[in-house]
Structure 1
Amino acid sequence: MNQIIALKGIVPGGLTAHAAPAPSRPQIAAITTEIRLLSACGEIRQAWTELAARAIEPNLFFEPDFALAAAQHLIAFRNVAVLLAWQGAAGTPQRRLLGLIPCFPRNRLFVPDELIGFSDPRIFNGAPLLDAAQAQAVLAAMLSLRRGWVLEGRGLVLRQIDMASPLIAPIRRAAEALRLNTTLSPANPPIRPRYGVPTPNDIEAMQHALARRGKLELVEARSRTELRDAIEILLAMEASGPKGRAGKAVLQDTREVGFLRAMTRALARCRQSRVALLTLDGRPIAGALVIGRAKDGWLYMAARDEGEAPFFPGQVLLALMRQAAPDRTILQPVPPASGPDAVGFGEIRLSPRATGKPRDLAGRARAALRRGLRLPPARAAG
């Protein structure tokens, strides 16, 4: 039984009865669905955090500390909808959040509607949060929404998905049960060797070259105060380089810098942000912000002193960070990352096996036009 709380005052219709369970088995609470704006999800923060801890694939970018800070500060996140899957009656201690997919609906005239998983350059991993024990059931509930509502849910597109993700198997099983086609499309093209990219031997040589010029030191923030100060140094370093001269530095955009400060403060409370500086005689020459849990972290931001660019201080810094914590991986999401820590991403598309008869196409066109009058606001740029 599915239930949706629609956006913009849309009132859902009646509920559909479901078959009663066999008397010999305990009754399992039905999975219900709900849609709300991301910015309105602060009140479910506790349930959201618990789901993130049980997710089949943890994803920092869709957890409260990152996503709520983004919704507060960034225009691109302002109108993001979140499709939620719940189990248990509202207001009861047994109620649990089982699934969360940030998305935009796409309604098209002559092809089936789709749920488009939200993607943004600031999000390196597009995996939705799904309860590990019920991932397939949650997907089936989310993709079986009632016809004629704002999210028809007969198709699903997820972008920036790790092609080795544990999500792939339950997505395929759910699609097969619902008679949907599944297409996996790797997004990262093969990486060609490039001239000028430093090898590990080059980095080691540059580290020794820098050390001959002065005292080379890796400085990592250990407290929240140190982390805040290191973030400001990193921002200033970026603003003094090419991005600053082009007007594209984070420090030059009040929304971006507000988000980054709020996000790193929130992540610092749960030890999910790591900031390190490389100093030469006490002067910062490179900095890096890594976000994520202890084992795996994403290189979210990096900057260097352009005067030291011939010595590759950024690469030297990352090498020293890996040496300081060999059990912690620093993931780099996009090319030219081609080493063992690079992650290959792609797109997963679930699409109906729809007929192309003229009568069906005409019916879909009429339904899409009716729904077009009551869609959520269009995505804003930024």
Structure 2
Amino acid sequence: MSGLQKLEGRDIRANRFRETLAPPEYRAVFHPVTAIDTGLVEAWKDLAREASEPNIFYEPWFLRPALDQFDHHPDLRLFLLWAGEPGASRLLALLPIGPASHFGRWPVPHVQNWLHHNCFLGTPLVRHGYEQLFWEQLLSALDDCDWPGFLHINGMTIGEPLDRAMRAVCGAQRRRCDLVHSEARALLQSELGPDAYLSENVRGKKRKELRRQAKRLDELGAVTYAHRTGAEDIDQWIDEFLELERRGWKGFGGSALDSAGQTRTFFRDALLGAARAGQLERHDIRLEGEPLAMLVNFHSGRGSFSFKTAFDEAFARFSPGVLLQLENLRILDNPAIAWMDSCAAEDHPMIDSIWSGRRHIGRFSIELKGLSRRAIFHGLRLGEDLMGKIRGREIFDPTERQQ
């Protein structure tokens, strides 16, 4: 029997089991990623508009190109929670999830949400008000299926509604739920305007240096700053971005988007999809019409995500990437956007020096029912705790400071 057939049978058993635990109107299913139709996409879009926590990385225009281009486990599924009959009711939650044979470098089987190298957030898409129901239904379905090990949620926001609901459900069920890694990345969120924010967060000497660099750049020729939210000239713009990034250190290291056909196609399809959805924002600085720095942002609800940036390293002495980020501060004047996630690594030397806010992102390991599963979970956690003590590693949980 194939993996697909096994999982189809697993879905049926999980649905039967859940009928005794939840109101009959709610239906949870594991949906094949190869069977996404127009009806599901429309319900998915509606869910994203009403999500408790925006996450563009799990919206259809971003996730579907990723599924098309990047490798994933053949048993990867979309966990879907419906308000009633699947496909004929409101979609309440969605999470790409599947089995994994390794946990980091360790050969430990488990279940986890799906991420890839260009996916910077793994928070599930859940309709506002259904956070606890989502975790109850997800954990019940996983308890009843035959995927091995424990549940690992990677890249989820810490201290926000879905984290709080997860901990509440696990606490009520006496189920271990451990934060096993956390990091803080730059976040732009303020009631101040762009100029006031810059003055408050960047020291005067640095601001003076940036003004000097901008003036020296102007002396080289006509410098233009552009901001686009539509699809005008998007194909040419994408080509320019890919070339600009490829000419830099990422290109030499083989990690540029243009270094492989899969990432090149994914990037183009994602931007075109975001443009059609009205969620794309593009910035660039040009010298005599040639791009010096380019930036891609994606918007969702009241949130925004700074996805990718590239700059011409031949002009590094003018800091075009930083100058472009100063233009990006104008998002503070947009009343429709409350915050922007940098999607950057922790302690990023450039963006951390401009944005003062921090967003905490974590990885959680959650116990599932079954003797063998619990043995795997407790054995792994014991090993992780031991290695953490040896290396002197501490995991910061900002929710403990709030209590």
Indicate the TM-score class for this superposition, using the shorter chain for normalisation. 0.7 to 0.9
Query: By how many angstroms is 1:323 displaced?
Result: 3.2
8 A Cα contact 2:62 2:274, kept in partner: yes
1:204 pairs with 2:199: no
1:38 pairs with 2:54: no
Query: By how many angstroms is 1:301 displaced?
Result: 1.6
RMSD: 3.4
Match of 1:351 in 2: 367
Match of 1:251 in 2: 258
Q: Distance in 2 between matches of 1:67 and 1:77?
A: 15
Match of 2:55 in 1: 59
Larger displacement relative to structure 2 (219-228 or 282-291): 219-228
User: Which of 89, 95, 104 matches 2:98?
Assistant: 104
Match of 1:332 in 2: 342
Query: By how many angstroms is 1:353 displaced?
Result: 8.6
Q: Distance in 1 between matches of 2:318 and 2:18?
A: 68
What secondary structure does 1:276 align onto?
strand
Uncovered stretches (5+) of structure 1, i.e. residues with no partner: 1-5, 22-27, 192-197, 355-359, 366-382
Query: By how many angstroms is 1:65 displaced?
Result: 0.5
Larger Cα-atom Rg: 1
Q: Distance in 2 between matches of 1:277 and 1:78?
A: 39
Residue type of the alignment partner of 1:245: F
Residue 80 to residue 202, structure 1, CA distance change in 2 (3 Å): farther
Query: By how many angstroms is 1:281 displaced?
Result: 2.9
Residue type of the alignment partner of 1:267: A
Residue 182 to residue 50, structure 1, CA distance change in 2 (3 Å): same
User: Which of 270, 279, 288 matches 2:286?
Assistant: 279
Q: Structure 1, residues 288-334: CA drift from partner, whole Å, max 9, x if none?
A: 11122375322222111121011110111111132376335542122
8 A Cα contact 2:82 2:90, kept in partner: yes
8 A Cα contact 1:143 1:155, kept in partner: no
Q: Distance in 2 between matches of 1:317 and 1:140?
A: 44
8 A Cα contact 2:54 2:300, kept in partner: no
Q: Structure 1, residues 151-206: CA drift from partner, whole Å, max 9, x if none?
A: 47x84321111223221211111112222122224422799xxxxxx944443332
What secondary structure does 2:285 align onto?
strand
Residue type of the alignment partner of 1:320: E
Query: By how many angstroms is 1:63 displaced?
Result: 0.8
Q: Distance in 2 between matches of 1:7 and 1:174?
A: 30
Q: Distance in 2 between matches of 1:362 and 1:56?
A: 30
Query: By how many angstroms is 1:130 displaced?
Result: 1.4
1:181 pairs with 2:181: no
TM-score, L = length of structure 1: 0.77
Uncovered stretches (5+) of structure 2, i.e. residues with no partner: 103-107, 187-204, 377-403
Q: Identity of counterpart residues, as a percentage?
A: 20
Match of 2:81 in 1: 85
1:50 pairs with 2:66: no
**More helix, by proportion:** 2
Q: Distance in 1 between matches of 2:36 and 2:213?
A: 47
Residue type of the alignment partner of 2:50: R
What secondary structure does 1:150 align onto?
coil
Query: By how many angstroms is 1:284 displaced?
Result: 1.6
TM-score, L = length of structure 2: 0.73
Residue 291 to residue 39, structure 1, CA distance change in 2 (3 Å): farther
Q: How many residues align?
A: 338
1:130 pairs with 2:126: yes
User: Which of 307, 316, 327 matches 1:309?
Assistant: 316
Superposition map of 1:234-249 within 5 A:
234-249=241-256
Residue type of the alignment partner of 1:349: S
